[in-house]
Each structure stands twice: as structure tokens, then as C-alpha cells.
Structure 1
Amino acid sequence: MIGLAGATLVACAEKAIPERQILGADPARGLALIEAEGCGACHRVPGLKWPRGAVGGPLDGMSSQTMIAGRFPNRPDVLVAWLRDAPAMAPDTAMPASGLAEDQARDVAAYLYTLDAD
């Protein structure tokens, strides 16, 4: 017999990864912005052949990650804020503020949410 604590753990383990879609955002534009902004200089970004940076974390599997930069919940609103101005959220981060407009950051986030773990 499973007690209340055991049932809670089982329920947590069975939760599906939430689907992360951003209405009105365009993942294709997001990839183009990732390339134009030079995100690949620091990050390995699936969909970019070059550059393949290794300073920042790889962005494979972004759709299934639970945290952004190991600190923030992986939710669309949080990811958009992070993409626009990471230092405002974490002053000690090496990631610079991007200067992306809100709609551009939404497109980039939409692309990142298409990336499944390999």
C-alpha cells in the first residue's frame, strides 16, 4: 500500500513535461534571429551549422528542460525575459542583454521550444 507521501511522489514522477507554445510567435523567424544575433558564438544551437559555441550551455532539449540557466522556471514568459535581458535577472550571468524586442524574443523562444533532447 502506498501512503500519502508515496502517492505524491508517484504523481510527481508521472507528470508530463508541459507543452510550451507561444501563440503568434514564429519559430522560423526565431532561428533567423538566433543566427543574426550571433547566439551560436556561445551556444550550440541545433539548426545552426556554424558557429558551434561551447561557452554557454547547449540549447538542445530546451523544450524539456525544467530550468533556464539552472535558476529560473522554464516558462515562456520567463524565457522571453531572459532572452531580452539576462543580466537584469541574474547580474552574475555571462550572457549579455540581447536588445531583442518583445516580439523577437517571443520568436526566439518559440524556436527554442521546438528543440527536443537528442
Structure 2
Amino acid sequence: MKLSGRIWALGVALTVLSLAALTGCASTSPPPPPEVHSGRPDRGAELITRYGCGSCHTIPGVSRADGLVGPPLTRFGARSYIAGQLPNNADNLSRWITDPQAVEPGTAMPKLGVSAIDAQDIAAYLYTLD
């Protein structure tokens, strides 16, 4: 095989490998749904009402939780990210609920004084929404 033929074949091979790499990146699966090992979903639903989360969010299964200020929390358990940046897992969600301003300064979500235990229970409820 002539040198020019080898160079052409090498160019084709590199092109194919580059396309395969790009295609592989584009088809990466999102992280698996979060698993919650603690928290009481029944209490979480009550706390969502008590803290007034429904005044900003639409939350299935919670009476009068039909707010339109923040994003709807429907199918929350099936989401990959919290606030568009944190991987959706119980620790991150509890951190977000407890102090959203520490996670994303300037976010519209206020710090409501949610305790760590209450945040864990609220997270447990939200993860039932898949």
C-alpha cells in the first residue's frame, strides 16, 4: 500500500473514532433515580404544608400546593438534578431544602428555617413523586 493510501486510511479511521466518541458522549444515561433510606414521607407531606412550600411550587398529593413561582415538583423522584446543578440524591436534596442560598446564592428559594430532620422527611416525600 502506498504512503498516501495509508494516510487516507488513517484519516478515515480517526474520523470514525472521533464520531464514535462524540456519539457515545451524547447518549450517556442520566444518573439513576435517588434512593432514600431514611425519612418519613407521610410526615414530609405535612411539613410541606406547614412550611408553605405549596405557595411557590405545585406538589402532587399536597392540598393547596399549586404555586407557580418555583418549578413544579411533579415526578421529582425521577429527576437527575436539583436546582439544575446538584445530582439528585437525599443528601443534596436535604442540603438544598435546609439552606438553598448556601447552594446557589441569590436563588429565589428562601431559607425557611427547615431543620435537618424536617428536610429529610420532606425529601422522603418528594422521592415518592416519580
Normalising by structure 2, we get a TM-score of 0.76
**Alignment partner of 1:20 is 2:12:** no
Write out per-residue CA displacement over residues 65-91 of structure 1, whole angstroms, 9 at most, x where no aligned residue: 111111221121111000001011111
Equivalents in 1 of 2:33, 2:108: separation in Å? 28
Q: What are the residue-to-residue correspondences of 1:23-34 with 2, within 5 Å?
A: 23-34=37-48
Give the equivalent residue in structure 2 for 1:35.
49
Give the equivalent residue in structure 2 for 1:5.
21
1:5 Cα offset (Å) = 2.7
Among 75, 84, 97, the alignment partner of 2:89 is 75
- After superposing the two structures, state which structure 1 stretch, 105-114 or 18-27, moved more: 18-27
- How many equivalent residue pairs? 113
**Alignment partner of 1:101 is 2:82:** no
What RMSD, in angstroms, separates the aligned Cα atoms of the two structures? Answer: 2.1
- Which segments of structure 1 move beyond 4 Å, counting only runs of 4 or more? 6-11
Normalising by structure 1, we get a TM-score of 0.83
**Where in structure 2 are there 5+ consecutive unaligned residues?**
1-15
Richer in helix (by share): 2
Check conservation: 1:21, 1:110, Cα contact below 8 A: no
AA in 2 matched with 1:12 = T
Among 47, 66, 79, the alignment partner of 1:65 is 79
**Alignment partner of 1:52 is 2:63:** no
Check conservation: 1:22, 1:106, Cα contact below 8 A: no
Equivalents in 2 of 1:69, 1:20: separation in Å? 15
**Alignment partner of 1:85 is 2:99:** yes
1:12 Cα offset (Å) = 2.8
Determine helix, strand or coil for the equivalent of 1:70: coil
1:6 Cα offset (Å) = 7.1
The structure number with the bigger radius of gyration is 2
